Amino acid sequence: MEVEVYYDVSSPYTYLAFTRLFNVIERYGAKLTLLPVYLGGLFKALGRTLPHPSKLTYMQKDLNDWASFLGVPLKFPSVFPLNSIQVQRGAVWMKDRGLEEDYVKRVFPAYWVEDRDLSKDEELLDIVSSLGVDSQDFLQGVRSEEVKQKLKEITEAALSRGVFGVPTFFVSGEMFWGNDRLLFVEKKLEGSKRS
Please report the domains of the chain, with CATH numbers, ordered by start residue.
2-194 (3.40.30.10)
Q: How far is CA 152 from the centre of its chain?
A: 15
**What pLDDT is recorded for position 83?**
95
pLDDT tens-place string over residues 50-92: 777 888 899 999 999 999 999 999 999 999 999 999 999 999 9
What does DSSP say about strands 168-171 and 174-177: parallel, antiparallel, or unpaired? antiparallel
Q: Is the pLDDT of residue 178 over 90?
A: yes
Please indicate whether residue 11 is annotated as part of the active site.
Answer: yes
Q: Which of 10, 11, 68, 84 is catalytic?
A: 11
